[in-house]
Amino acid sequence: MFAVEINKTIELLAGTFLVLILATIGVFVLRRMKDPNLDPAVIETFRSRVRAWWLLFCPLVGAFFLGPTATVSLFAMISLLAFREYITVVPTRLADHRSLFWVYLFCIPAQFLLVGLDPHWFRARFGISPYLVFSILIPAYVFLLVPAWIAASNDPKRFLERIAKIQVGLLICVYCLGFVPALLTMEVPARQTEEAVGSPVLPQLLDSAVEAANYAAIAIETVPAVVLPETCQAGKTTKNLPESSPGSSESMRDDPVPDDPAPERHTVHYPGTPASSGAPPGQTGENVANERRDMVEKPLPKPSWRKLRLLFFFVLIVQISDLLQYAWSQSSRKHVVAPTINSTRTWSGVFGGAATTALIGIALWYFTPFTRWWEPGVVAFAVSLMGFAGGITMSAIKRDRGVEDYGTLVEGHGGILDRLDSLCFAAPLFYHLTWLFLNKT
């Protein structure tokens, strides 16, 4: 099963990079064509998007192979940079700097630390899932502390406006974005995790089954072939051994044997079950208990190729949706959604792109953990619409502040937040829809 899971991951990553290579070659060819029917602005936009995709997928794939901790750390860094870009666009006062200092120093690291902890370790230590903490840390407690910190600075000028801007930035750049790496620590049913790479559940179950079969075979071989006669006497059962049996004697034949003697039991230890007195050959009960304890004493999550593919599937779907909505909108310029905010999106482009994204999600079902073929299509359709909501919302903020882009990371396409606006809005929806589908009864 290890080979199957890693092969699926390699196939998905290789296919994505092949498409990126073909897109890069296509842009190179189109820029050198002199066809008057080609719009240079559209070609330049496509070139910028391809470059942004390279900058996004290369670090992401590198973090995948370094493990879940590296992936969570990557998104924590992205969140810091995105929040910084947001704060540079919205106006702040000197009195806000103290609260921003605590946001950078404590809130963002704490949020991603909770996201990156192994849920089994956290539950063993505190009795609850880490989701119950990181899902309310920012919208409940930080949203209350930020106004208090700003109020303590003794500067009430435009107080409501200032705290609202900081809270919106935290919600989008930190809280929502945190649901992307949270996919790596999502708690799913056992049937979804038995095949996970790095998880010892399946190999240990197979080993235990083999041991149980061996014990059963040994027990069958040691059963005597002769059926022993039984004589019932005054509430007790006696068993007479044949005279030809080795070591037999008259006294042995007359000795009573208790009713239904308890057979020798060979206990097989399964991961996650309470310890018992038995242990596999060559392993004591104390060693088994220590091994089981080690499984929950490490706060870092174990790598799972299945969950890594789920995260990659989400990022891929969001980027494909953004491109398809743009392409569909260019094919028909009627019924622009919000001409003042974003003139490149039409209603036909939004729903046409969402429908096409749903078909692509279904086509990628093989690489996902969903059990039914239509589930990735439903998730992809919803994610596409939510991604559009994120793009138009962040564009409205830019128009309000009178800026073209949030940063200059990607030439022609702005900064990190310009590329991740759809991702931020779609992440919580994708997380919860995926959890619902995987945990359905």
65 with 74: CB under 8 angstroms?
A: no
Judge whether 168 and 92 are in contact, CB under 8 Å: no
pLDDT attached to residue 271? 33
Of the candidates 244, 242, 100, 235, the one whose C-alpha atom is nearest the C-alpha of residue 173 is 100
> What are the tens digits of pLDDT across the range 36-73?
677 777 778 788 888 888 888 999 999 988 889 999 99
CA gap 227, 243 in Å, rounded: 14
Q: Dihedral, CA atoms, 344, 348, 350, 352, nearest 10 degrees?
A: -130
Pair type for strands 336-338 and 256-257 = unpaired
Residue type, 63: A
Look at 10 and 5; give whichever has higher pLDDT.
10
Amino acid of residue 95: A
Q: Is 90 exceeded by the pLDDT of residue 135? A: yes
Query: What pLDDT digit, counting tens, does each position of 148-179 carry?
Result: 999 998 889 999 999 999 999 999 999 999 99
CA within 13 Å, CB half, 72:
25
Residues written for the chain: 441
Query: Could you tell me the sign of the dihedral formed by the alpha carbons of 221, 224, 226, 227, in that order?
Result: negative
Q: Can you list the alpha helix ranges (DSSP code H) found in 32-67?
A: 40-66
Residue-wise pLDDT tens digits, 192-246: 444 444 433 333 334 444 444 554 554 455 445 544 454 444 444 444 444 444 4
Q: Give the SS3 label for residue 338.
A: strand
pLDDT digits over 310-329, tens only?
999 999 999 999 999 988 98
Average pLDDT over residues 382-402: 93
- Order of strands, edge to edge, in the sheet holding 256-257? 230-233, 236-239, 256-257
Residue whose structure tokens are 């996970």 = 196
Q: Compute φ and ψ for 262, nearest 5 degrees.
A: -70, 125
Q: CA nearest 178: which of 117, 132, 135, 118?
A: 135
Residue 129 parent element (H or E): none
Percentage with pLDDT > 90 across the chain: 44
Fill in the DSSP letter of residue 239: E
Mean pLDDT of 296-303: 71
CA distance 224 to 66: 57
pTM of the model: 0.74
Determine contact, residues 389/420, Cβ cutoff 8 Å.
no
* Average pLDDT for the chain: 78
Question: What is the rounded distance in angstroms from the CA atom of residue 439 to the CA atom of residue 186?
Answer: 11
Least-confidence region, from 117-126, 259-268, 389-398, 429-438 = 259-268
Average pLDDT for residues 176-188, to the nearest whole number? Answer: 91
pLDDT at 5: 80
Instruction: Collapse the DSSP code of 349 into the 3-class scheme (helix H, G, I; strand E, B; otherwise coil) and give the result.
Output: helix
Distances (CA, A) of 90 to 66, 125, 342, 397: 36, 41, 19, 9
Question: Each residue of 21-41: pLDDT tens digit?
Answer: 998 898 888 888 776 677 777
Provide the pLDDT confidence category of residue 1 given band limits of 50, 70 and 90: low
For residue 269, which of 281, 256, 254 has the smallest C-alpha distance?
Answer: 281
3-class secondary-structure state, position 337: strand
4-9, long-range: CB within 8 Å, 24+ apart, which pairs?
4/195, 5/195, 5/196, 5/197, 5/305, 5/306, 6/197, 6/305, 8/305, 8/309, 8/366, 8/367, 9/64, 9/305, 9/308, 9/309, 9/367
Q: CB-based contacts of 242: which residues, under 8 Å, 6+ apart? A: 226, 228, 248
- Euclidean distance between CA atoms 334 and 172, whole angstroms: 30
- CA dist 407 and 86 (Å) reads 9
